[in-house]
Structure 1
Amino acid sequence: MSRDGAGDGTGNESGSGSGTGSGSWAARERRVAGDGVELCVAEYGDTSLPTVVLLHGYPDSKEVWSQVADRLADRFHVVLYDVRGHGRSTAPKPLRGGFRLEKLTDDFLAVADAVSPDRPVHLVGHDWGSVQGWEFATVGRTEGRIATFTSISGPSLDHFGHWIKQRVARPTPRRLAQLLGQGAKSWYVYALHTPVLPELAWRGVLGRQWPKLLARAEKISSAGYPTASLPEDAAHGAWLYRDNVRDRLRAPRADAYAHVPVQLITPTGDPFLSEKLYDELDQWVPDLRRRTIPTKHWVPRTRPDQIAQWIGEFVTSNEEGRPARKTPEKPGPAGERFAGQLVLVTGAGSGIGRATAFAFAEAGARIIAVDRDAESAARTAELARLIGAPSAWAETVDVSDEQAMEKLAEKTATEYGVPDVVVNNAGIGLAGSFLDTTTEDWKRVLDVNLWGVIHGCRLFARQMVDRGQGGHIVNTASAAAFQPSRALPAYSTSKAAVLMLSECLRAELAPHDIGVSAICPGIVNTNITSTTRFAGVTDAEQDRRRARSSRLYGLRNYPPEKVAEAIVRAVLRNSAVVPVTPEARGARLLGRLSPRALRGLARLDPPL
């Protein structure tokens, strides 16, 4: 299977199990007898490999998983099946009582026995597939048949029931707010409990309009999904809720402890489920891995690359008998979000760029360290692997060279995959009055500080858009972008342009779920002072000013690691403009409140 990362694959070479989604795997279908129904089962890949069962939700059929299945099929035996009453599986008769979790468990065991009779399977569930998966992973009769469980956008009804009871029993303002918030998100559950109306809606206008509604809400292509069986699937699936939800929430099981390792993937923008539902999950799951992803509900269609990456890593680690790569010792949003993601950083050989590569490496991201100094880039990649990156590579590129950047983008997509985060950080310093700054000086600083960012944004944003699975771009600007100075006209101009470019790109790329952040540090203790050029002075004076600047920056001693932390937070929060140091925040505020005062400060001579 070829790895064509330029399209929509991850090109992952770190053994995580992610493929490319080239559509080259043909499904082999069979029929399996369930509990009073006949189930349609599709299989991909080599049957001798570990088996991964992907279980769909409501109102979907197994085709919701097709893109993820294709990405996994080069390393696993992948199995999809239509839940009873959905797709090409038959419906129970009568419908009432035919969708109880006990019967769904029988169906799962029948499929597992048919497709993997001698080895436990790795279960992945989305939406109601996840609700079922929690049942399978916590009841005694499935022990030994499941190796791992990955849950996406679907809670255990038992855990949910206990979550509600705890908040009702101790109704603090915070707990009441959580309860009311989830109650509002669960509006559709109430609707599905009404008699007849859901069936009429799905077999009528809602069934016809659903593909358009889904495409508009979640930006999902309708190619091959949903299938023509959607109206009947949705009408039958209403009984999933009617047969199970009220009973389980009213009387949740007290023994709903997971007997397998569980990976929880939580979309942070899910309109149906609150992240707070999983706050107490650790008490039910002894071996739990948490992941978050910035998207809405239908992640098997909107983020197949990342989902396949995480599933593959989790399955492989457990198959090899080693612990899965966990979130850091102190679990936090960065480890949950960036583990396994691909992060490219320019100017990564030192300073803010190196610190940023390390910060993402600590969160478990794969790193591409880009710098024009080959030795420095290689050292950053080596240290990133030691810190926690599952893989890290070094690339030697001058960001001002358009052709070199185009080759980097092509190589990255082909060999490593489309980056999830790109940090355009490379930059150089230039000081001196406008009248002393030569045309060559202007050209050099704009080539690196502005055009280097333009090249990175243009090439990698195009890859992210073509992949259609979101991403984030960070551009390192400066406090000089909004703080004029008589000593930094060229540098300030380049950084102000980066700031405005970032704002424009943020507006343009937002519909593609691609965030853009401009980071604006102030005085940070990096080696940029030792390489800054001072226009219009002798070589001796240039050396004196560099030494003086380095001493002042050293006395200020604001570490680049704090800027790296701000960059990670900016991606997590999708922040637009982030002034980092106190002087940067002060200049930003002063520019808004009193631009005249800021202009007055610009007339002062710098302490050089």
Structure 2
Amino acid sequence: MVPLKGARERRVRTGGVELCVAELGDPRQPTVVLVHGYPDSKEVWSRVARRLAGRFHVVLYDVRGHGRSTAPLPLRGGFTLEKLTDDFLAVADAVSPGRPVHLVGHDWGSVQSWEFVTVRRAEGRIASFTSVSGPSLDHFGHWIGTRVKRPTPRRVGQLLGQGAKSWYVYLLHTPKLPELAWRGPLGRRWPRILERVEKLSADDYPTSSLPRDAAHGTWLYRDNVRARLRRPRPDAYARVPVQLITPLEDAFLSECLYDGLERWAPDLVRRVLPAGHWVPRTRPDQLAAWITDFVTATEGGRPRPAAGKYADRFAGQLVLITGAGSGIGRATAFAFAEAGARVVAVDRDAEAAARTAERCRPLGAPAAWAEPVDVGDERAMEKLDEKVAAEYGVVDVLVNNAGIGLSGSFFDHTPEDWRKVLGVNLWGVIHGCRLFGKRMAERGQGGHIVNTASAAAYQPSKALPAYSTSKAAVLMLSECLRAELAGRGIGVTAVCPGFVNTGITSTAHFTGVGAEEEKRLRRRAARLYGLRDYPPEKVADAILRAVVRDDAVVPVTPEARLLHAMSRFAPRALRRLARVEPPLGTADSGTTPRNSGLLSTGSANSPVDKASWLWIKPPGRY
């Protein structure tokens, strides 16, 4: 068996067993104790431990009977929660005498840690607790009792659903059979099963002691589960701040299992993660970030989680948004900031990007940075990618929002017009997906890409040949990427906003008309825009909701949804609509007018908020 790389090892004797304890980091820093689950050993935490070691004194130990720790004799009765509590207190006293530790548990490590934080004899030894994929058996027992005594269709469904997910618990209570399976074919095949089902790579996990560990660990279930579920403790209240991290794709535990947990853990912070059960292996970056934030907050006082909508999902994540200087991009940056995300605001206008980043911080973002970049410039985007990776980390959510538009007849479009529109609208998205998306894929910890398309992607118009072409390409690119990246846990969403009010009319430019006519069109546009009054904040909320739900295509406004439905069920009607005498502009994904008929989404020198194009009738046709 290979020890944890770079760790200092010691032995702690307690209750007739010898525990193998590994330590990383500076012992003078706050101590974080990581407790593993079943059928794991401490190596399950190796990726998280390495990420925490730069800030904390990190301690991992093999639970009795696992890894390099010895097993109790006899096995029966040797794995009770009371004896596991003795083990933890012995380790805490050895590695952090006189100073409370921050506890993190996964799976059965979390189950036993709930015992540690709710019994009085451990009071004062624990500063905080982060629970991952493991409920308190006492809370579970009360949860079952409530649903049995006061059944409703919903509660009965919850019981049946969790009962189906707990199939393995019944098998582990059978005599001899689990031990034979683990020491035989199951133990040999387990690494491949994890690789296929949970997308885990082998490297230093699982260890060679897996068959023996799993056989011993069956007594964790036999010694504790039935007894606690039948007679749960009535005083199982957590006496420390608790951070609950719930993987939404956990094959063994239902999210509803934690309903009403605030009763037992009054100082509770909830986090959710689109991942499977073994998040210490599949999402070490996010897990380490949440642990770091929680421990740091606890050391400085009572933890205060981000209060914004979706804070349980995005807190601590790194979000990069292009075209963030104004309009929809700026509103999206603010929404992620309120959810506790770290924000990188990208825009061609350096001052606008800086203003957005500055306003993100008081809204709840732990950190926010401004990066002035033209997304259509390949080399500039490559430099941005390198800088972000080196200074901020791998992006968790990428929002490719910047874009420009052009209105007019196809025959009035010059090759330069096409290059400008495609350079930003299509190539800007390609650059973002290629660079930041590739790092997401290489990291192997999931993520999400949002590409701002348009209703023009599926609604043809003879006034928007270049713009519609670019946005239709963005929509198809998003669909193709979604198919390719699905197996890597990376979602891809195309957002089609529709008419959005961001006050573009005061500086709008219209080609083919004189100065006086242009002023009149601006006044007319201002009146029409005021009637629509659809705020960019609603688009931002739709973007965050789409990431949470992993939606593929999101038409936002009612007209965008109507046109999307027509494109699927009445395409001939849309083609007829495309032949109607065209307006001078169109409603869309966050664009602002510019000289020579160009419309910009968060690009350089844009004097007004990023907004959606407005459908404006030509002169004499009101």
TM-score range, shorter chain: over 0.9
TM-score, reference length from structure 1? 0.94
Report deviation, 1:545: 4.7
Unaligned runs of at least 5 residues, structure 2 = 584-616
Which among 158, 164, 173 is matched to residue 178 of structure 1?
158
Question: Using the alignment, how far apart are the partners of 1:507 and 1:541 within structure 2?
Answer: 48
- Name the structure 1 match of 2:203: 223
In the TM superposition, what is the alpha-carbon distance from 1:527 to its structure 2 partner? 5.2
CA offset at residue 546 of structure 1?
Answer: 5.5
**Does residue 1:325 correspond to 2:304, yes or no?**
yes
Per-residue CA distance 1:198-253 (angstroms, 9 max, x = gap): 00110011000000010111111100100000000000000000000000000000
Matched, 1:586 2:555: no
* TM-aligned CA distance change 1:56 to 1:153, over 3 Å: same
What is the CA distance between 1:438 and its match in structure 2? 1.4
The 3 A distance-change label for structure 1 pair 337 and 202 is: same
Aligned to 1:492: 468
- Tell me the SS of whatever aligns to 1:99: coil
Distance 2:532 2:88 in 1: 63
Distance 1:543 1:408, change over 3 A: farther
Q: In the alignment, which residue of structure 1 is the partner of 2:606?
A: none
Q: CA deviation at 1:523?
A: 0.9
| Residue aligning to 2:366 | 390
CA distance in 1, matches of 2:421, 2:67: 60
Change in Cα spacing, 1:269 to 1:235, as seen in structure 2 (3 Å) is: same
Matched positions, count: 582
1:538 offset after TM fit, Å?
5.8
Partner-residue secondary structure (3-state), 1:315: helix
Q: Where in structure 1 do 4 or more consecutive aligned residues deviate above 3 Å? A: 527-551
Structure 1 position 579, deviation (Å): 0.3
SS of the counterpart of 1:155? coil
Residues 4 and 46 in structure 2, CA contact (< 8 A), matched pair in contact too: no
1:214 aligns with 2:194: yes
% identical equivalent positions? 75
SS in 2 for 1:393: strand
Check if 1:414 corresponds to 2:390: yes
Q: CA deviation at 1:327?
A: 3.7
Choose 434-443 or 288-297, whichever is displaced more: 434-443
How far apart are residue 553 of structure 1 and its match? 2.8
Aligned to 2:254: 274
User: Which residue pairs with 2:488 in the alignment?
Assistant: 512
Q: How big is the shift at 1:542?
A: 5.7
**Which letter does structure 1 place at the counterpart of 2:303?**
A
SS in 1 for 2:99: coil
Cα separation, 2, equivalents of 1:234 and 1:547 = 75
Name the structure 1 match of 2:601.
Answer: none
Name the counterpart of 1:79.
59
Q: 1:539/1:503 Cα in 2 relative to 1: closer, same or farther (>3 Å)? A: farther
Q: Which runs of 5+ in 1 are unaligned?
A: 1-22
Task: Give yes or no for contact 1:428–1:528 (8 Å, CA) kept in 2.
Answer: no
Distance change >3 Å, CA 368–CA 24, structure 1 → 2? farther
Distance 1:129 1:24 in 2: 18
Give the Å deviation of 1:35: 1.3
Return the alpha-carbon distance in structure 2 between the equivalents of residues 219 and 453 of structure 1.
Answer: 28
Q: Alpha-carbon deviation of 1:24?
A: 11
1:431–1:527 Cα change, 3 Å: farther
3-state SS in 2 of match to 1:289: strand
1:68 is matched with which residue: 15, 32, 48? 48
Give the counterpart letter for 1:374 in structure 2. A
Q: Which moved more, 1:520-529 or 1:283-292?
A: 520-529
Q: How does 1:278-293 map to 2 (within 5 A)?
A: 278-293=258-273
Report the Cα offset of residue 383 of structure 1. 0.6
Structure 1 residues 250 and 24: alpha-carbon distance in aligned structure 2, compared to 1, 3 A threshold: closer
Q: Are residues 32 and 437 of structure 1, via their aligned partners in 2, closer, same or farther at CA, if it must alter by over 3 Å?
A: same
The residue number in structure 1 matching 2:142 is 162
Q: Which residue does 1:51 correspond to in 2?
A: 31
Matching residue within 559, 577, 583 for 2:535: 559
What is the deviation of 1:388? 0.9
SS at match of 1:428: strand
Compared with structure 1, are the counterparts of its residues 58 and 531 closer, same or farther at alpha carbon in structure 2 (3 Å cutoff)? farther
Would the aligned equivalents of 1:430 and 1:535 in 2 still touch at CA under 8 Å?
Answer: no
Distance 1:339 1:257 in 2: 26
Q: Residue in 1 aligned with 2:100?
A: 120
Residue 125 of structure 1 contacts residue 131 of structure 1 at CA under 8 Å; is this kept in 2? yes
Report the aligned-residue RMSD: 1.6
**Is the 1:429–1:528 Cα contact (8 Å) retained in structure 2?**
no
Q: In structure 2, how many angstroms separate the alpha carbons of the residues matched to 1:170 and 1:390? A: 43
Task: Quote the residue 2:125 is aligned against.
Answer: 145
Specify the alignment match of 1:301 in structure 2.
281
- Partners of 2:505 and 2:46 in 1: CA distance: 53
Residues 499, 545 of structure 1: alpha-carbon distance in 2 compared, 3 angstrom cutoff: farther
